Structure 1
Amino acid sequence: MISRISSFWASDIGWSFRGSPVAILSAIMVVVLLMAALFAPWITPQNPFDPSELNLANGFSPPLQENPFTNDFFVFGADNQGRDVFSTILYGLRISLMVGVLAVAFGLVLGVSLGLIAGYVGGRVDSIIMRTADIQLTFPAILIAMLIFGIAKGVAPIEYRDQVAIWVLIVAIGLSDWVPFARVVRGAAMVQKNKDFVLAAKLAGQGPMTIMFRHILPNAMSPILVIATISLALAIIAEATLSFLGVGAPPTKPSLGTLIRVGQEFALSGEWWILFFPALTLLMLALSVNSLGDWLRDALNPSLKS
Structure 2
Amino acid sequence: MNGARAVLKTLSSGGIDVCFSNPGTSEMHLVAGMVATAEMRNVLCLFEGVATGAADGYGRMARKPASTLLHLGPGLGNGLANLHNARRAGTPLVNIVGDHATYHGPFDAPLNSDIEAMARTVSKWVRRTEQVADAGRDTAEAIAAARTAVGHLPGGVATLVLPSDVCWSEGGLAAPIPAVASPAVDGHEVERIAKILLGSERCLLLVGGDNMRRSGLTAASRIAEATGADLLAEKSPARHERGAGIPPVDRLPYPGTLPQRAWQERGTSSSPERGPRWRSSPTPANRAP
Q: Decide: shared fold, TM above 0.5.
A: no
Which has a greater percent of helix? 1
Which has a greater percent of strand? 2
TM-score range, shorter chain: under 0.3
* TM score, norm. by length of structure 1: 0.24
* TM score, norm. by length of structure 2: 0.25
